[in-house]
Amino acid sequence: MDSSVSRDAGITRDAGITMEKIVSLAKRRGFVFQSSEIYGGQSGAWDYGPMGIELKNRIQRFWWKEMTQLHDDIVGLDAAILMHPRVWEASGHVENFTDPLVDCKKCKQRFRADQIDQAKLAKKECPECGGELTDTRKFNLMFKTNIGPVDDGTGLIYLRPETAQGIYVNYKNILQSNRMKLPFGIAQVGKAFRNEIVTKNFIFRTCEFEQMEMQYFVKPGEDEKFFDYWRGQRWAYYEKLGVRMDKLRWHQHGKDELAHYAKDAYDIEYEFPMGFKELEGVHNRSNYDLTRHQEFSGKDLQYIDQDNGNERYIPFIVETSAGLTRQLLMVLCDAYEEQKVGDKGNEDDWRTVLHFHPELAPVTVAVLPLMKKDGLAELAQDIRQGLKQEFSTDYDQGGAIGRRYRRQDEVGTPFCVTVDYQTKEDGTVTVRFRDSMEQIRVKREELELTLKKAIKEYKRV
């Protein structure tokens, strides 16, 4: 048992949850599995199980609704992962998307030069074994592959390291086909790939991951105003997502941290079990991207401002760039709690509960017959059938009712509906609320409305 555990201190057992606990729960309950596990695992890659894919889809939908449905001036896109290799020359990734690396000549370990003890680096001393380190060299993070039948280098192609470039190369298509006017945005969700050397901390930093990015095109000179606006919008998004806001903070990039394209950048950081780490970036990318694509493609990417005497200019871009898979990890960590719920002096006194916002929970409502017999199972199945169109449901008839509640708590199901003998008599069911464990009795006909109201009014306690 770890040292932060205290059974007497209050209702929460674990003040500082560990990544080990999150990884273990994620595997045990079907959220996230190691990729190719039966072959010993593939580092930098993870698979999302039945609960994980539901959670990921819901986070994605939440973000998509926020960005497109709730912002009239943002449209969506789904660009291909494989793009013309010149895109990555224009974007600066071929030249600049590198990590500084050093290798130990003795133990053969590889390190990011900027992440090890700088005094040891200066002495070329390995932080692990004390052996001699190589000189620092630049390592490009883009995965290369080959397109076409011949593997002689002429078909060199990259797996995209960010979704943003797919938006920039389609900027003119969308401008024209959708008759957009500045300012406007394009949103996209999709896979990105980076040959990350350090991939520890579960799904925090992986080689294959998903991003949710939005690029907002503005008139030069209006970029700072919209940069501030989007910082405000992104902060408000996390409030709606129902996470603990005292776990979030801003970090402004210093001059030496700014990416090659950025004029200004702020990260929203979350306090993960390993400390405050980047969750999402809001970047003022200036007119760097479109200027470069205009130069490299030879196509005119200027905007013609018909409202201002056909003035021509290259728009500035404000970007909001979030990791979907990293956000899933944040939501899991934020939801996790071990709570004291009894006084018997054994493990049954404790429950592990995930306090997901009901709109994110993989299962919204579980229907549980008190007994399998006397027609209760059939009645419960029938009630579940009636809820299916509106909610994601589960059905569980195995074991004591208390254990079944615990199983649902552990995957974050916000509502359990229990069907008992009284249901047969008067048509009422019990609704049990995950966070408060409070139970109320409602008529079967009022169930759907009761649940919808509870979802709408949900506030984490």
Residues that bind ligand GAP in the complex, under the rule CB under 6 A: 162, 164, 194, 196, 205-206, 209, 211, 213, 278-281, 319, 321-323, 325-326
- Of 187 and 322, nearer to ligand GAP (C-beta) is 322
Length of the chain: 461
Report whether 458 contacts 414 (CB < 8 A): yes
Report whether 428 contacts 442 (CB < 8 A): yes
In the complex, the smallest distance separating the C-beta of residue 210 from ligand GAP, rounded to whole angstroms, is 8
- Of 271 and 278, nearer to ligand GAP (C-beta) is 278
CB atoms within 10 A of CB 163: 24
Q: Are strands 248-252 and 264-272 parallel, antiparallel or unpaired?
A: antiparallel
Residue 62's H or E segment, with its range, is: helix 50-64
The answer for residues whose C-beta is within 8 angstroms of residue 277's C-beta and 6 or more apart is 204, 269, 270
The single-letter code of the amino acid at 297 is: S
The answer for residues whose C-beta is within 8 angstroms of residue 256's C-beta and 6 or more apart is none
In the complex, the smallest distance separating the C-beta of residue 458 from ligand GAP, rounded to whole angstroms, is 25
Distance between CA atoms of residues 139 and 145, nearest Å: 16
Which residue's C-beta sits nearest to ligand GAP? 323
- Of 210 and 394, nearer to ligand GAP (C-beta) is 210
In the complex, the smallest distance separating the C-beta of residue 321 from ligand GAP, rounded to whole angstroms, is 4
- Of 211 and 423, nearer to ligand GAP (C-beta) is 211
DSSP for 308-357 reads GTTEEEPPEEEEEEEEHHHHHHHHHHHHEEEEE---SSSGGGEEEEE---
In the complex, the smallest distance separating the C-beta of residue 276 from ligand GAP, rounded to whole angstroms, is 13
In the complex, the smallest distance separating the C-beta of residue 393 from ligand GAP, rounded to whole angstroms, is 31
Distance between CA atoms of residues 100 and 245, nearest Å: 34
In the complex, the smallest distance separating the C-beta of residue 404 from ligand GAP, rounded to whole angstroms, is 35
- Of 164 and 314, nearer to ligand GAP (C-beta) is 164
Scanning the structure block, which residue is given the tokens 């996230």?
A: 32
Distance between CA atoms of residues 340 and 348, nearest Å: 9
- Of 161 and 369, nearer to ligand GAP (C-beta) is 161
- Of 166 and 412, nearer to ligand GAP (C-beta) is 166
In the complex, the smallest distance separating the C-beta of residue 269 from ligand GAP, rounded to whole angstroms, is 9
- Of 165 and 364, nearer to ligand GAP (C-beta) is 165
Report whether 416 contacts 410 (CB < 8 A): no
Distance between CA atoms of residues 40 and 233, nearest Å: 42
The answer for residues whose C-beta is within 8 angstroms of residue 290's C-beta and 6 or more apart is 168, 171, 301, 314, 315, 317
H and E: helices and strands count for the chain? 14, 23
In the complex, the smallest distance separating the C-beta of residue 424 from ligand GAP, rounded to whole angstroms, is 51
- Of 233 and 325, nearer to ligand GAP (C-beta) is 325
In the complex, the smallest distance separating the C-beta of residue 17 from ligand GAP, rounded to whole angstroms, is 20
